[in-house]
Chain A
């Protein structure tokens, strides 16, 4: 049988090295750097999305033409990601930022009452 596959899986090796590098960068940003918290959280979430894209495109054969491009329901995967965004962002918005100011965890509140005020 004829094989078009290359002997050395270059794409996989590049994807693997990239994913290791991104993990190390994310861990350093969170644990080893003095960057502001807001920047760290935004930054590592962006790194996680890049990592996920590496898995999807370099390991999961998402753009493979050998299947006639018929094996991935792009519309459904897109809907899946949209549902994730709505559920997570929507829950956070309504539960943490939207309504009800009775929580003790807003920064202004903590400043007013000093550091030893906790629930």
Chain B
């Protein structure tokens, strides 16, 4: 309870970025939840006589080359794009934290092997590597998630391992060993809670860029397949008609930009909030 109250106290302190971020992501969440009720048209229903209608009263965002309503597709697309991004971040954060903690905690040979692997993965540009894996696995939503996770976990592993190595020498870890905690207990009760805040900050900062990764891979045709309205796919569809139907790319592009911005702002805000120096400064006043 106290933590929640503290949290709101800190919000009062004109943390505009965080509030804006939360507002934007909150709206996104509402849209994802209530998507079916918000759509005025069936997002997959084609009607060739309605194609390329520019934004007007009936179709706020216009229609695409198949006569589908773009607003409905953008709303429906939020379900695909955002859930993919969140799934990617959660899976890779869990995987990376686990591997990093174990690696840093036990050290030795396994740590060396794992960290060289991490170095290799970090040496490639993320998107290129994800592209390679995704081509290998084939197209589809699930494969897209796996591909990005394969690349993304290393970031969390790095952080978790670094933290674990720092913690290993802390006095309270030695004290815990002296009172008979097993390795499993140490990892679960001592290392994990002390690392999780750092990881959470990274997660909230990363979601924005993951949305962009997902969109770019979908744009290249490696993610969700055409009838399902993914934002990346929509831009990809629209690029051929850019000259006389720019709204086809504009609105999904805006959706990507706004959601990435929202998550980034929230991430920044959360980082400032959880940064211990910052937090102490707020609490001591």
Q: Do A and B share a complex? A: no
Residues of A within 8 A of B (CB): none
Residues of B within 8 A of A (CB): none
